[in-house]
Amino acid sequence: MEQIATRDAYGKALRKLGLNNDDIIVLDADLSKSTKTADFQKVNPKHFVNVGIAEQNLMGIAAGIAATGKIPFASTFAMFATGRAFEIIRNSIAYPKLNVKIVATHSGVSVGEDGGSHAAIEDISLMRSVPNMTVIVPADGVETEKVIEKIVKYKGPVYVRLGRSKVPVIYDDSYEFEIGKFSTLKAGSDVTIIACGIMVAKALEAADILKDKGINAEVINASTIKPFDDIAVIESVKKTKCVVTAEEHNIYGGLGSAVSEVLVRNFPAPLEMVGVMDVFGESGAPEELLEKFKLTTNEIVNKVELVFKRK
Amino acid sequence: METKFIEEKAKEIRREIIKMLGEAKSGHPGGSLSGADIIAALYYKEMKLDPANPKWEGRDRFVLSKGHAAPLLYSVLALKNYFKIDILKTLRKTGSILQGHPDMNKVPGVEMSTGSLGQGFSAAVGMALSFKIYNKENRVYALLGDGECQEGIVWEAAMAAAHYNLDNLVAILDNNGLQIDGKCSEVMCLGSLHNKWTAFGFHVIDVDGHKIDQIIDAFDEARTIKGKPTLILAKTIKGKGVSFMEDRAEWHGSAPSMEQVILALEELK
């Protein structure tokens, strides 16, 4: 299966925008080669702004640019975008509902060798708790490109969470992304697996394994974490009566929490979570870390078997 | 003639600030009064504006980075007819467009939502940078407090403004020397603001922030400076114009009683 990192897809999408859309300004905080905003700089250097190592000012400047009617894309690592600059995002971007696209890379423990100081496991939780903010976690390179195209047309603040490592391509070019709509990648009747980001491909693999075990799993890609597609969750779980969530993020405040919130209000059902168990990341090869933190296909299978018994 | 007119407007602004805060029973008089002459010079002389068309593309931008001085901005906007002057009475009240700190989506003429210190200046740098990138003539003005300069983002933004040669940006520093907890020099010493801003790449002009002529001259000088942003370091008196409020930190964030409002208005006749 073809593999591409979502950050590389971001660079590709930005190159296209750099050539076609005069309203776009791309900003970075000294990480342009890693976030791939350097790809935009190559085609439209006049519209590229490096603010240096100053993430708070990255967000403040982006807010000011948006206030003049232009469309800024502000990029850095997820840790520094949502952690370091949280309050600027909150007060200068989300509160005035300014049209800033925050696209952060290097999210989750799959950052790898840089270790726990750089592995954002709280960013979804932070961004989803801020009013006016839209939160999107693309599952692969194709979806990333579609997301970037879509958010340019949407007016308002958006947080997009991307990763460093290569992930399998699961969509083909015919895929249509819509903000706030989940996509069902595989229909099933016994259990619902709701995943986001790099865990979506693993959820599909898990569904194959489960099929051999006689469990027919439905796999949903929850690429928009906010606004959340409540209806998609409720309809699927009404059919399957149990659910497993999978995310490369702390189990507190992320996708698992969002699904739980919807279900307890609408259709209580047994739920298990695959995610980072409230611990920090560490250094290592990304694939080894995903094993260590149990962000794996097998763990999804285990949790499905567990939740299945609780039906 | 023109100076006299602007001085009179500054006095009107001060009167509205006092009335508004008396009505609201909370808010920030000291730092609103200290900036009255500066904002009068901006809105009655320096800036290109069209109050009847607040979103006019060619307008200059003003950002009140020291957002707690909201009554200062609201007064001048009301006096310039951005909204009805009666609305000033609703300051800080439930349902009012006049929030405790300025909200750009609620108040016509407010260009940026501010209140969390340092952030307005960063946004002003973004506006000026955008105008540069798109070769626009619009100028950007930001009013900062001196206590505000204790925020790290101010210096991140200052570095960027100089790096990108933003000669369309004028920062005005309302240097009244006081913050909530006392004298800036005692709370957290700012050192030489003149030297700091110069070292950060700004063209720095020192003025008496209550002398309209000096303020206007500084704006004129800023227009002649090419390739770098300007900082007008305006020495001011907190609570200026109301004798019992002048140079007293306790008037940073408490509103006058009705008796005090009457006394103050007497002085501002």
Q: What is the pLDDT of residues A281-299, one digit of tens each?
A: 999 999 999 999 999 999 9
User: B128 touching A, CB under 8 A?
Assistant: yes
Edge-first strand order for the sheet with B140-145 is: B61-64, B140-145, B169-175, B230-235, B203-208
Q: Which 3 state secondary structure label does DSSP give B181?
A: coil
- CATH number listed for the domain at residues B2-267: 3.40.50.970
For residue A217, the 8-state DSSP code is E
pLDDT confidence of B177, banded at 50, 70, 90? very high
By the CB < 8 Å criterion, does A97 face chain B? yes
pLDDT tens digits for range A10-40: 999 999 999 999 999 999 999 999 999 999 9
Check: CB of residue A200 under 8 Å from CB of residue A274.
Answer: no
pLDDT at site B15: 98
From the list B123, B128, B133, which residue is nearest A60 (CB)? Answer: B123
Could you list the active site residues of A?
55
Q: Is A70 on the interface with B (CB under 8 A)?
A: yes
User: For residue A1, what pLDDT is reported?
Assistant: 80
Cα-based distances in Å from A139 to A236, A246, B66, B138:
20, 12, 42, 42
Give B87's contacts (C-beta < 8 A, 6+ positions apart).
B78, B96, B97, B98
Domains and CATH numbers, chain A: 3-168 (3.40.50.970), 183-309 (3.40.50.920)
Q: Which chain B residues are closer than 8 Å to A70 by Cβ? A: 130, 134
Start-to-end CA distance of chain B, whole Å, equals 19
DSSP A163: -
B127 in reach of chain A (CB within 8 A): yes
Pick the closest to residue A164 from A110, A102, A120, A103 (CA basis).
A110
From A150, A155, A164, A158, select the one nearest A77 (Cα to Cα). Answer: A164
Is B160 in contact with A61 (Cβ distance < 8 A)? yes
The tens digit of pLDDT for each residue in B86-134 reads: 999 999 999 999 999 999 999 999 999 999 999 999 999 999 999 999 9
Domain boundaries along the sequence of chain B: 2-267
What average pLDDT score do residues B79-89 get?
A: 98
pLDDT at B1 over 90: no
- Chain A, chain B: beta-carbon pairs less than 8 Å apart: 105
Instruction: Over range A208-233, report the average pLDDT.
Output: 98
Q: Which of B116, B128, B159 sits opposite A91 (nearest CB)?
A: B116
CA distance B5 to chain A (A): 32
Contact assignment for A61 to B131 by CB distance below 8 Å: no
Average confidence (pLDDT) over A161-185: 97
Phi-psi bin for A30: left (phi > 0), alpha (psi -120 to 50), beta?
left
Taking only the tens place, the pLDDT of each residue in A78-96 is 999 999 999 999 999 999 9
Q: Is B267 in CB contact (< 8 Å) with chain A?
A: no
- Cα–Cα distance for residue pair A238/A266, rounded to 1 Å: 10
Identify the residue whose tokens are 């560490």. A282
Residue-wise pLDDT tens digits, A105-147: 999 999 999 999 999 999 999 999 999 999 999 999 999 999 9
- Compute the nearest-CA separation of A43 from chain B (Å): 15
Q: List residues bridging with B208 in a β-sheet.
A: B235
Give the separation between CA B89 and CA A35, rounded to whole angstroms: 49
Going by C-beta distance under 8 Å and a sequence separation of 6 or more, which residues neighbour residue A123?
A78, A79, A81, A82, A83, A104, A107, A159, A161, A249
A106: left (phi over 0), alpha (psi -120 to 50) or beta: left
Residue holding tokens 């739920």?
A271
Q: Which chain A residue's Cα is nearest to B131? A: A68
A61 touches chain B (CB under 8 A): yes
Within 198-217 of A, beta carbons closer than 8 Å to B belong to none
